[in-house]
Amino acid sequence: MEDVSGYYIRMLTNIDLFRGETVGLSIIFAWLGLFAMVYLFILATLILRARPSAAENRFMFLLLIAEGFKVSFDWKFLYPFGPEIMPMVQYVRVVWWFFLILSLLLYVSICAFYPVRFLKFMSRDEIRNNLYWGLPLLSGLIVALMVTQNGGIVGAFGGIGHVICLDATSIPQVTLYPGTKEIAASCFNIPEYHPYQYFTTGSTPLGTLLLFSQVFFAMIALGFMKIAQKTLENEGASIEKATEARALFIGFSGKVVFQGAMVAFMIFLSAKFGQINFADVAKYIGNASVIGIYMVGLYGFVLSILATAFFEGVMFTYAILKNEILGIDERLRKTFSTAVFAGTGGILFLVASEIMESMIGIGWIGGVLIGLPLIVMRKAILSFINGFSNVIMPESFTSEEQNYIEAYTMAMDDGIITTKERRMLELQARSLSLDSSRIRHLESWFDSNLDSDEEE
């Protein structure tokens, strides 16, 4: 009997979008979702620890926890679970919908911390200080109402089935969660792909509406942040607060643009082919173009959830902590640049391999054609990505770092750092608890800006 590692290897080495062989992709996205969830939870913890009693930090902590749990939706593919865990899957789905609804409420409540003229009442202390517990309570009540009014979890959010295909000639073994409608499952006529198994989840019209409405609610938050940014800049308010609003605006922009495009594509596919899940794919076995469109839509939407949650997490953390944790902005930029490079490279590698596999039957050639240029041009590509990350997350300093820069500015007045001045700067750095690597970064930043000013 095949062990778990053998199953993973076989699924991961047999991925073909145009034949529907995508269990391996689901495994990849399940693990990526787990890592993204942990990363967002870490960022949320950093935000809360920075100012545990601040209403804004509590609010953002809650938002990143919600976004983090949402990216774990494919966790059931982490391991080749059997149908016995379907009750657990359904209960976890209820929690997932709780966090989705909570995130929608958080999106439209963000105006409590930034000036939006027609919603000034939201900034009252009695409202903003109680959002961190009031919104989860409201979300829980909404979920409970949906479940009770629709006769249970299946009626509210959809059912679930587990399908096992032992070989290409066998009838699929389908196990349905109680209340789930019958599904027309079939197995691929690809001997080397068997045995394999998967879960297929259904949805309800209300659930689909809530899922797609994330973009609409993010668009509302996007508008709030743009209004707040303009208001803060026009009123000559704190530059730091205006920068916060700008960072949040960029974070929501990523969600609206990327996930919005995929939602539009998913709506098109739903209108043309009906509900999209693994069981539906089997109906189009042999029609490579239709299955390819299905897979691009399905996994494109999954990718948009992961990518936009990660992007929001980085931008929101930058907005709240840029002036509170030493070097957090630099670390976030490095994380962002690395993730973009690795993610884009991975997608291009997969696409190139799929194209070459369909054209000449040798997929690894496509991987080589993409991999070699990425390796050769790695520094140039990373430099470009770093430039972009510097635009969306400008350099920002804590009060301690600003004090050191002021001292360094005075020492550099004549363009030379003497031995005595260097000794004074080292004492200043120790008193401000700045380590040597951070000092090098601050001085390098100052020197580069000084050089650019002289060139102008």
Q: What is the pLDDT of residues 348-402, one digit of tens each?
A: 777 777 677 666 666 667 777 777 787 888 888 888 888 888 788 777 666 777 7
User: What is the H or E stretch that residue 199 is in?
Assistant: strand 196-201
Same domain assignment for residues 286 and 178: yes
Same domain for 116 and 178, yes or no, is yes
- Three-state secondary structure call for residue 16: strand
Residues 158 and 175 in one domain: yes
Asked if omega into 195 is within 30° of 0 (cis), the reply is yes
Give the total number of structural domains in the chain: 3
Q: pLDDT tens digit string along 34-65? A: 999 999 999 999 999 988 999 999 999 999 99
275 & 361 share domain: no
Residue 341 lies in a domain: yes
Asked whether residue 377 is assigned to any structural domain, the reply reads: yes
Indicate if 79 and 14 belong to the same structural domain.
Answer: yes
The pLDDT > 90 percentage for the chain reads 29
Same domain, 157 and 279: yes
Residue 104 near residue 210, CB atoms below 8 Å: yes
pLDDT at 141: 97
- Does residue 374 share a domain with residue 303? no
| Final residue in a domain of this structure, among 264, 290, 316 | 316
- Other Cβ atoms less than 10 A from the Cβ of 189: the count is 12
Q: Is the pLDDT of residue 98 over 90?
A: yes
375, 396, 417 — which closes off a domain? Answer: 396
Q: What is the pLDDT of residues 137-192, one digit of tens each?
A: 999 999 999 999 999 999 999 999 998 888 877 788 899 999 988 877 777 777 77
| Number of DSSP helices (H) and strands (E) in the chain, helices first | 18, 3
Q: Do residues 275 and 203 make contact, with C-beta atoms less than 8 angstroms apart?
A: yes
Give the pLDDT band (50/70/90) at residue 1.
Answer: very low
Q: Whole-number mean pLDDT of the chain?
A: 83
Q: How many residues does the chain have?
A: 456
- pLDDT value of position 414: 75
Q: Give pLDDT tens digits for 242-296.
A: 888 888 999 999 999 988 888 888 777 776 666 555 555 656 666 666 777 777 7
Grouping H, G, I as helix, E, B as strand and the rest as coil, residue 175 is strand
Q: Are residues 420 and 331 in the same domain?
A: no
Q: Among 1-10, 196-205, 349-358, which range has the highest average pLDDT?
A: 196-205
Is the pLDDT confidence value at 86 over 70? yes
Distance CA 442, CA 436 (A): 10
In a domain, 188, yes or no: yes
Q: Clarify whether residues 389 and 403 are in a common domain.
A: no
CATH code for the domain in which residue 286 is found: 1.20.1070.10
Residue 207 has pLDDT above 70, yes or no: yes
Neighbours of 442 (CB within 10 A): 20
Same-domain pairing of 220 and 342 = no
pLDDT at 452: 52
**pTM higher than the cut 0.85:** no
226 and 344 in a single domain? The answer is no
Query: In the predicted model, is pLDDT for residue 135 greater than 90?
Result: yes
Give pLDDT, residue 65: 96
* 269 compared with 7, residue with greater pLDDT: 7
pLDDT reported for residue 283: 63
Identify whether residues 359 and 228 lie together within a single domain: no
pLDDT at residue 455, rounded to an integer: 47
Pairing relation of β-strands 160-165 and 173-176? antiparallel
Is there a domain that residue 321 lies in?
A: no
Kindly indicate the confidence band of residue 116, based on its pLDDT and cuts at 50, 70 and 90. Answer: confident
The larger pLDDT score, comparing residue 251 to residue 239, is at 251
Q: Could you say which of 396, 416, 442 is where a domain stops?
A: 396
Q: Which domain holds residue 341?
A: 326-396
In a domain, 262, yes or no: yes
Determine the pLDDT at residue 58: 94
When pLDDT is averaged across residues 84-102 and rounded to a whole number, the result is: 94
